Each structure stands twice: as C-alpha cells, then as structure tokens.
Amino acid sequence: MMLTRQAQQYDDARLGYQRLDPHRPEVIFEVTSATEIEEAVRYAVDHDHRIAVQGSGHGLTRGIDGGVLIATRRFNGVRVDPAAQTAWVDAGATWQDVLTATAPYGLAPLSGSLPGVGAVAYTLGGGLGLMARKYGYAADHVNRIELVTADGTRRNADVDLFWALRGGGGNFGVVTGMEIALFEVPILYGGSLYFDLADYPDAVVAWREWTQDLPEEVTSAVAMIPFPDIPPIPAPLRGKYIAQLQVASLQGADVIEPLRAIGTPVLDTLGELPYAESAKVFAEPDRPDSYRSQNVLLRDLDPDTLATLPKLAGPGASAMAIIGIRHLGGALHREPTIPNAVGHRDAAYSLTVLIPGERDATELQNTILDPWRAQSIGRLLNFTFADLTPTEIAEAFNPGDHQRLTDLRKHYDPAGRLAANHELTELR
C-alpha cells in the first residue's frame, strides 16, 4: 500500500519505536511481500527519490525528509524448517515473531535483549544476543540473504554482498528476508539480580570480577539504572539507583552463586525460563520512546575506572543516564566459517551510555565515556543511537574492511539512494 502525506494512516506508518527524529517521507510503501519491495524501490528510482527502510523502528538515528520510506512491519512471516534447524525470516519480522514460530520445536534464534526489535536489522548490524558467548554474533549464523539493490534488482547476496551485509548494516539494498540458523535451547537459566547501589556500591566491580573466568555457556551484562519513583516501576526498584545484573546461562544455576554472594538484591528474577520468555532476562520496557546513546568496545574494564561509574551517573547527575555493559568474548572472539564484516572480535566488553528522553545530555554522556575513550578499540553500531561522523562509523569496522564496504556500497548504490542508518561514506 502506498501512502502519501495526506493519508490518514501516514503517521501510524512512519512512526516506529524511536521517536527522537522520526521519518518524514513524501510517500510510504507499507509492503507485505518481496515483490512490493521491488515495486517500492523501482518507484523511488523512477522518481529519483532517496529510500529509507523501517522495520520496528528501534534503531533509527536520523529520519529521512522527503523520499520514500519502505515500512516492512506488515511483511513479518517466519517459516521454520525444524529438520534443518533454520528459519526464513521476512524483512519486517521481529524477534518476537521468530520466537513464537520456533518455540514449538524447542528451537531458539540468536535473539537479543528485547524481542520487539526487528530480526533483520539486528542481524545486519551484527546482533549481540543472549547466547552470544556460546554461539557468536547473529550475523555469524546466516545462511542466505535476499535483497533488492538500489537499481531495483532482486537478487541473492553473492560472496561480496553476503560478507558486507552481515555486519555492514542496511547500506547495500533492501533486504527482503534471510535464512538464519536455529539452536536447540528449550530452557534457559536466566533473569536479573537487582542490587541497590546505595547498599552495594561495588556490585558492578564484583560482576566484572566474576566475568573474568566464565564458561562460554554464560552470557551476561550489567545496567546501572536510576529508576524514577513512579508507579509503572516495580515497587522494590522505585526511586533507587540500581545495578541490574542480567544473566543468561545454558549451564544452570550454580555458576551464578558468586553473584548472589554480593548481598541481598532488592529483586531477584533468576530462574528457569522457556527460551520464548527470554525477554524476562533484561526486562526492558517495550514502548515508543526517544533516546540517544554512544558505545565503546574495550579489551578490559579497568576496575578503578569502573568503580567511579555509579558516582558519575547516579542520583544528582544532571540528566538520567543508563550505563549498560555487556560481557563479550567466547565465540564472539572467533571468525565464523564464512567471514563477515563484524569488526573488533578482540573486544571483551561493550559499554553504552543511553540517555532516555528528548533532552540532549551530551556533556553528561562525555563525562561518563571520556575515561574509557583512550582504551576504546571501536564501537557497536547496533548500540549507538546517534548521528555519527564518517570516521566514527568507520571505527566500528576492522582496518581495511571499511574501505571494502564503501567500495561495495559505491558499486551497488552509485547514486547514494539508500538513506541507511549509520551510512557508510568514504573517508577523505
């Protein structure tokens, strides 16, 4: 369906989850098939329009003004092949759609913290999931990708495009769908321990210590969250500055004991979970919001610098800032059988500072991140909700890979028609 600015459904179709700078296209194609994606791209070519693509809209950093928006959320089929342990995922399917389709077979995808996120865009950006240390990035387990390139041609990603799309994002065409691998994981031991940082200021340092010697079966993270004192927040967390230790274990509960030794959490949600309920591990809110974030990848977390973090962003800070740290390593360190564009596999931690709301709190964000910048080896674009410079985008990739990616973009989209998130451009 094609919608113009006058259409009643225009706003509903253009607004996704991220509300900071939504798309304002001239026309929207609400697609329900690969053929409709082809038609939308051809329309853009014929009218010399730029093209933006939106799945669920979690990742948007800069809205398009004018041009064509291809909205894929209604093209969300998932077809499971239980014998091959694979699923074909249409362009607009969310991880929730995939979880719903795969759970009856006891199979799980390499989904992330929030099932409302679009599976395709997540995977194009690498995709750091709940079982990442065991299986690697979601982009490491893609078998086939179909896309419509900026000239309107529908094709299967060949060797070069297949390499670039897995990690290089939406810079090379509009993906109509992909085949992903599934894993036998009916049950997960997971959830969160919520420690009040007023009582346990060293909880985050203790978490880092625990991550130093963990089996790959355990993937974990920590979020430092100043919870407002308002009713939608669960009573035990209201008005408290919390360290939420988020754990997904494929090896049962025993491995988590050292975290319990930190003290008495105000809330403990750890337990056995069907994988389909894995949203409970991070328990992130799934309602449209505005937010900005910056991310750094690190080879280690200096414990002294780490100890200062809660003081920078806690009560009394000039704005609300959520600091999220994910433990990497394990299979994330290893190149997949068929190499892809995911960079910096030597990173051991990812650190993100997220500022919710409309307010620009760059100063606070920099105060928190500056001590880490000298040690940073790059960034995860999936965790960066900010309009980055070309150099900052290049830093997400390994040296050499960025040039190969920009060459491929120039080859497949010489007119620069695709207004991709974190658009790849040549460095001058």
If the CB atoms of residues 406 and 421 are measured against ligand FAD, the closer one turns out to be: 421
Minimum distance, C-beta of residue 122 to ligand FAD, in the bound complex (Å): 3
If the CB atoms of residues 86 and 421 are measured against ligand FAD, the closer one turns out to be: 421
If the CB atoms of residues 108 and 174 are measured against ligand FAD, the closer one turns out to be: 174
Minimum distance, C-beta of residue 265 to ligand FAD, in the bound complex (Å): 22
CA distance 276 to 109: 10
Minimum distance, C-beta of residue 257 to ligand FAD, in the bound complex (Å): 25
If the CB atoms of residues 89 and 206 are measured against ligand FAD, the closer one turns out to be: 89
Minimum distance, C-beta of residue 357 to ligand FAD, in the bound complex (Å): 14
CA distance 198 to 264: 12
Minimum distance, C-beta of residue 289 to ligand FAD, in the bound complex (Å): 8
CA distance 10 to 27: 9
If the CB atoms of residues 25 and 200 are measured against ligand FAD, the closer one turns out to be: 25
If the CB atoms of residues 128 and 180 are measured against ligand FAD, the closer one turns out to be: 128
Transcribe 234-264 into DSSP letters.
-GGGTT-EEEEEEEEESS-SGGGHHHHTT--
Backbone angles phi, psi at 193, to 5 degrees: -105, 125
Which residues on adjacent β-strands are paired with residue 296?
351
Transcribe 195-223 into DSSP letters.
EETTT-TTHHHHHHHHHTT--TTEEEEEE
First to last CA, the chain: 41
Minimum distance, C-beta of residue 227 to ligand FAD, in the bound complex (Å): 16
Minimum distance, C-beta of residue 124 to ligand FAD, in the bound complex (Å): 6
Which residues on adjacent β-strands are paired with residue 298?
349
CA distance 127 to 9: 31
Transcribe 280-308 into DSSP letters.
HHH----S-B-EEEEEEEES---HHHHHH
If the CB atoms of residues 126 and 314 are measured against ligand FAD, the closer one turns out to be: 126
Q: How far is CA 202 from CA 206, 209, 243, 308, 401, in A?
A: 6, 11, 10, 10, 39
CA distance 367 to 362: 9
If the CB atoms of residues 102 and 246 are measured against ligand FAD, the closer one turns out to be: 246
Query: Taking the mean position of all CA atoms in its chain, how far away is CA 390?
Result: 20
If the CB atoms of residues 91 and 364 are measured against ligand FAD, the closer one turns out to be: 91
Query: Binding residues for ligand FAD, per CB under 6 A?
Result: 16, 53-60, 72, 91, 112-114, 117-118, 120-122, 124-128, 170, 174-175, 284, 382, 420-421
If the CB atoms of residues 205 and 294 are measured against ligand FAD, the closer one turns out to be: 294
Give counts: helices (H), strands (E), the chain.
Answer: 13, 19
If the CB atoms of residues 174 and 205 are measured against ligand FAD, the closer one turns out to be: 174
Minimum distance, C-beta of residue 308 to ligand FAD, in the bound complex (Å): 26
Minimum distance, C-beta of residue 374 to ligand FAD, in the bound complex (Å): 25
CA distance 6 to 18: 23
Which residues on adjacent β-strands are paired with residue 293?
354
Minimum distance, C-beta of residue 117 to ligand FAD, in the bound complex (Å): 4
Minimum distance, C-beta of residue 85 to ligand FAD, in the bound complex (Å): 21
Residue with tokens 């960066």: 384
CA distance 164 to 155: 15
Enumerate residues 6+ apart whose C-beta is below 8 A from 428: none
Mark 82-91 as b/e (b = at least 16 C-beta within 10 Å): eeeebbbbbb
